[in-house]
Amino acid sequence: MGIAVLAGFGLFRTLRGQAASRRYLDESGHEAPLEISHLSLPLQRVARETRALRLSLDEPLRLVQGAERLLGTDVSTAEVERELLNASRDIGAWVRLVERLGDQDQATMRDMGAHFEPVRDAIAAEGWALELRPNAKYVDMIEGARDNLVNHSEKLSERMRRLLLELERVETKLQIPLDPYR
């Protein structure tokens, strides 16, 4: 029984990873190829994961921006919350990936100006979880909630846009080779 559960979980994670990879490839059609041959293998992985994360956050951002339209429809905010939870996990995994880099790679990132701390600080300020309705998960919407939801979704979408800009900055900085003569 336990082995079947573990196997099922492993299959789920594999399928989720494959779906994320397909989304990355589909959405990156307009993106220029990463120029990362000058980086160490761990930093190349960081660059690829940074782009994949940035692209994967577009859908949750669109859902948050349209959250007020969910009120009074059959679509539940639970779907948006689920997307935000997955995005939060992905951001946390990216932060852990960067924090686990060796000292030399972290120094290289700093020298390149590819600071990950703004991303880490942004998700930490959210309590490591992006949420559409703070402290109101799984609670039925009540009168006056539209204004609350609209107000919070606007603020959350702005914070998410800043997070995307920081990820794009890291991605861009990692593609610029260090000047060997500095």
Q: Does residue 71 fall inside a structural domain?
A: yes
**Domain tally, the chain:** 1
The number of beta carbons lying within 10 Å of the beta carbon of residue 107 is 11
Q: Does residue 5 fall inside a structural domain?
A: no
d(CA 18, CA 16): 5
Task: Read off the pLDDT of residues 67-110 as tens digits, 9 standing for 90 and up.
Answer: 766 665 545 677 888 899 999 999 999 999 999 999 999 999 99
- Rounded to two decimals, the pTM is 0.76
Q: Does residue 8 fall inside a structural domain?
A: no
Tell me the CATH number at 150: 1.20.120
The number of beta carbons lying within 10 Å of the beta carbon of residue 47 is 21
Instruction: Assess contact for 10 and 38: CB atoms under 8 A.
Output: no
Residue count (the chain): 182
Q: Does residue 67 fall inside a structural domain?
A: yes
Task: Read off the pLDDT of residues 165-182 as tens digits, 9 standing for 90 and up.
Answer: 999 999 999 999 987 675
Query: Smallest Cα–Cα separation from 139: which of 150, 152, 149?
Result: 149
What's the domain range around 82?
41-174
